[in-house]
Protein backbone atom coordinates (compact mmCIF):
# COMPACT_ATOMS: atom_id res chain seq x y z
CA UNK A 1 0.00 0.00 0.00
CA UNK A 2 2.82 2.42 0.84
CA UNK A 3 4.39 1.95 -2.59
CA UNK A 4 1.11 2.76 -4.31
CA UNK A 5 0.74 5.96 -2.26
CA UNK A 6 4.32 6.94 -3.12
CA UNK A 7 3.53 6.52 -6.83
CA UNK A 8 0.29 8.49 -6.54
CA UNK A 9 1.63 11.39 -4.45
CA UNK A 10 5.42 11.42 -4.90
CA UNK A 11 6.00 10.69 -8.60
CA UNK A 12 7.77 13.99 -9.35
CA UNK A 13 10.21 13.27 -6.51
CA UNK A 14 10.72 9.68 -7.66
CA UNK A 15 11.41 11.04 -11.16
CA UNK A 16 13.95 13.57 -9.90
CA UNK A 17 11.83 16.58 -10.90
CA UNK A 18 11.08 17.71 -7.36
CA UNK A 19 13.13 17.90 -4.14
CA UNK A 20 10.60 16.28 -1.85
CA UNK A 21 7.06 15.14 -1.25
CA UNK A 22 4.91 14.33 1.76
CA UNK A 23 2.42 11.52 2.18
CA UNK A 24 0.20 10.70 5.09
CA UNK A 25 -0.86 7.10 5.41
CA UNK A 26 -2.43 4.89 8.05
CA UNK A 27 -0.22 2.68 10.17
CA UNK A 28 -1.03 -0.08 12.60
CA UNK A 29 2.38 -0.71 14.10
CA UNK A 30 5.17 1.82 14.37
CA UNK A 31 7.73 -1.00 14.21
CA UNK A 32 6.19 -2.46 11.03
CA UNK A 33 6.11 1.02 9.45
CA UNK A 34 9.77 1.63 10.29
CA UNK A 35 10.67 -1.79 8.87
CA UNK A 36 8.76 -1.04 5.64
CA UNK A 37 10.46 2.35 5.28
CA UNK A 38 13.88 0.74 5.87
CA UNK A 39 13.17 -1.75 3.08
CA UNK A 40 12.14 1.06 0.73
CA UNK A 41 15.28 3.00 1.64
CA UNK A 42 17.37 0.03 0.49
CA UNK A 43 16.04 0.84 -3.00
CA UNK A 44 15.97 4.61 -2.56
CA UNK A 45 19.36 5.42 -1.02
CA UNK A 46 21.47 4.08 -3.94
CA UNK A 47 19.31 6.22 -6.24
CA UNK A 48 19.74 9.40 -4.21
CA UNK A 49 16.43 9.37 -2.31
CA UNK A 50 15.48 8.89 1.30
CA UNK A 51 12.15 8.26 3.06
CA UNK A 52 11.86 9.69 6.56
CA UNK A 53 8.91 9.37 8.94
CA UNK A 54 8.31 12.84 10.37
CA UNK A 55 5.28 12.36 12.60
CA UNK A 56 3.03 9.62 13.96
CA UNK A 57 -0.36 11.00 14.94
CA UNK A 58 -3.90 9.62 15.25
CA UNK A 59 -3.07 6.34 13.52
CA UNK A 60 -1.32 8.04 10.60
CA UNK A 61 2.31 8.52 9.73
CA UNK A 62 3.61 11.52 7.79
CA UNK A 63 6.44 10.42 5.51
CA UNK A 64 8.84 12.78 3.78
CA UNK A 65 10.37 11.37 0.59
CA UNK A 66 13.24 13.55 -0.57
CA UNK A 67 16.46 13.85 -2.49
CA UNK A 68 19.12 14.89 0.05
CA UNK A 69 21.45 16.47 -2.55
CA UNK A 70 18.61 18.60 -3.92
CA UNK A 71 17.50 19.54 -0.41
CA UNK A 72 21.05 20.69 0.42
CA UNK A 73 21.09 22.80 -2.76
CA UNK A 74 17.62 24.25 -2.09
CA UNK A 75 18.34 25.15 1.54
CA UNK A 76 21.65 26.79 0.60
CA UNK A 77 19.76 29.32 -1.55
CA UNK A 78 20.15 32.79 -0.01
CA UNK A 79 16.39 33.49 -0.10
CA UNK A 80 15.62 30.09 1.46
CA UNK A 81 18.15 30.87 4.20
CA UNK A 82 16.38 34.14 4.93
CA UNK A 83 13.01 32.40 5.22
CA UNK A 84 14.50 29.75 7.52
CA UNK A 85 16.25 32.37 9.65
CA UNK A 86 13.07 34.44 9.96
CA UNK A 87 11.26 31.23 10.97
CA UNK A 88 13.74 30.59 13.78
CA UNK A 89 16.09 28.04 12.22
CA UNK A 90 19.70 28.39 13.43
CA UNK A 91 21.37 27.35 10.14
CA UNK A 92 20.63 25.82 6.75
CA UNK A 93 22.35 22.45 7.18
CA UNK A 94 19.77 19.88 6.04
CA UNK A 95 20.29 17.59 9.04
CA UNK A 96 19.65 20.45 11.46
CA UNK A 97 16.70 21.74 9.44
CA UNK A 98 15.09 18.30 9.24
CA UNK A 99 15.46 17.83 13.00
CA UNK A 100 13.90 21.24 13.61
CA UNK A 101 11.08 20.58 11.12
CA UNK A 102 10.36 17.25 12.78
CA UNK A 103 10.34 18.91 16.22
CA UNK A 104 7.93 21.59 15.00
CA UNK A 105 5.59 19.07 13.36
CA UNK A 106 5.43 17.07 16.57
CA UNK A 107 5.01 20.02 18.92
CA UNK A 108 2.15 21.84 17.23
CA UNK A 109 -0.96 20.73 15.41
CA UNK A 110 -0.39 22.74 12.25
CA UNK A 111 2.19 22.56 9.49
CA UNK A 112 5.07 25.01 9.77
CA UNK A 113 4.76 27.29 6.73
CA UNK A 114 8.45 26.95 5.83
CA UNK A 115 7.77 23.31 4.97
CA UNK A 116 7.43 24.42 1.33
CA UNK A 117 11.21 24.87 1.20
CA UNK A 118 11.59 21.16 1.97
CA UNK A 119 9.27 20.31 -0.93
CA UNK A 120 11.15 22.34 -3.55
CA UNK A 121 8.77 25.29 -3.67
CA UNK A 122 10.36 28.59 -4.73
CA UNK A 123 11.53 30.58 -1.68
CA UNK A 124 9.68 33.68 -2.95
CA UNK A 125 6.42 31.72 -2.87
CA UNK A 126 7.09 30.34 0.62
CA UNK A 127 7.96 33.83 1.86
CA UNK A 128 4.87 35.25 0.11
CA UNK A 129 2.66 32.62 1.71
CA UNK A 130 4.00 33.49 5.17
CA UNK A 131 3.91 37.27 4.71
CA UNK A 132 0.45 37.28 3.12
CA UNK A 133 -0.98 34.68 5.50
CA UNK A 134 -1.99 32.50 2.54
CA UNK A 135 -3.93 35.35 0.86
CA UNK A 136 -3.30 37.57 -2.16
CA UNK A 137 -1.67 34.85 -4.27
CA UNK A 138 -1.45 35.04 -8.07
CA UNK A 139 -2.55 31.45 -8.70
CA UNK A 140 -2.77 28.11 -6.95
CA UNK A 141 -1.64 24.64 -8.00
CA UNK A 142 0.67 22.41 -5.97
CA UNK A 143 1.30 25.52 -3.86
CA UNK A 144 0.14 29.14 -3.74
CA UNK A 145 2.16 31.31 -6.11
CA UNK A 146 3.34 34.80 -5.21
CA UNK A 147 6.29 35.02 -7.62
CA UNK A 148 6.71 33.76 -11.18
CA UNK A 149 3.23 32.59 -12.13
CA UNK A 150 4.19 31.39 -15.62
CA UNK A 151 7.07 29.24 -14.37
CA UNK A 152 4.92 27.81 -11.57
CA UNK A 153 2.17 26.81 -14.00
CA UNK A 154 4.75 25.03 -16.18
CA UNK A 155 6.00 23.12 -13.13
CA UNK A 156 2.44 22.23 -12.07
CA UNK A 157 1.75 20.81 -15.55
CA UNK A 158 5.05 18.89 -15.55
CA UNK A 159 4.29 17.38 -12.13
CA UNK A 160 0.78 16.39 -13.21
CA UNK A 161 2.02 14.76 -16.41
CA UNK A 162 4.71 12.89 -14.48
CA UNK A 163 2.15 11.62 -11.96
CA UNK A 164 -0.21 10.50 -14.73
CA UNK A 165 2.59 8.61 -16.52
CA UNK A 166 3.84 7.01 -13.30
CA UNK A 167 0.33 5.90 -12.28
CA UNK A 168 -0.20 4.29 -15.71
CA UNK A 169 3.18 2.55 -15.51
CA UNK A 170 2.40 1.30 -12.00
CA UNK A 171 -0.98 -0.02 -13.15
CA UNK A 172 0.82 -1.82 -16.01
CA UNK A 173 3.12 -3.64 -13.61
CA UNK A 174 6.21 -1.43 -13.30
CA UNK A 175 7.74 -1.57 -9.83
CA UNK A 176 8.69 1.37 -7.65
CA UNK A 177 12.33 0.32 -8.14
CA UNK A 178 11.92 0.62 -11.91
CA UNK A 179 10.18 3.98 -11.56
CA UNK A 180 12.77 5.55 -9.24
CA UNK A 181 15.19 7.63 -11.28
CA UNK A 182 18.78 7.69 -10.00
CA UNK A 183 20.22 11.06 -9.02
CA UNK A 184 22.44 12.67 -11.61
CA UNK A 185 26.09 12.42 -10.68
CA UNK A 186 27.86 15.78 -10.49
CA UNK A 187 30.37 16.24 -13.29
Taking 50 as the pLDDT cut, the residues of the chain under it are 187
pLDDT at 110 (0 to 100): 77
Say how far apart CA 5 and CA 23 lie, in whole Å.
7
Half-sphere exposure of 21 (CA within 13 A, CB side): 20
* pLDDT reported for residue 187: 40
The angle formed by the CA atoms of residues 149, 132 and 123, to the nearest 5 degrees, is 55
How far, in Å, CA of 147 to CA of 128, rounded? 8
For the chain, the three-class secondary structure string (H helix, E strand, C coil) is CHHHHHHHHHHHHHCCCCCEEEEEEECCCHHHHHHHHHHHHHHHHHHCCEEEEEEEECCEEEEEEECHHHHHHHHCCHHHHHHHHHCCCCCCCHHHHHHHHHHHHHHCCCCCCCHHHHCCCCHHHHHHHHHCCCCCCCEECCCEECCCHHHHHHHHHHHHHHHHHHHHHHHCCCCHHHHCCCCCCCC
Give pLDDT, residue 31: 96
* Model pLDDT, residue 186: 53
The predicted model scores a pTM of 0.95
pLDDT of residue 12: 98
Amino acid sequence: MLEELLIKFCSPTLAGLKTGSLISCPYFSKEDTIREIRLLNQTFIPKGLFALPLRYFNGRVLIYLFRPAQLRRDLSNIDAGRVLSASGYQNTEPEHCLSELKRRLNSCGSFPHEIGLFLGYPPEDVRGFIENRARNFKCIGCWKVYGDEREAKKRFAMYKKCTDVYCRCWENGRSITQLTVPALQPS
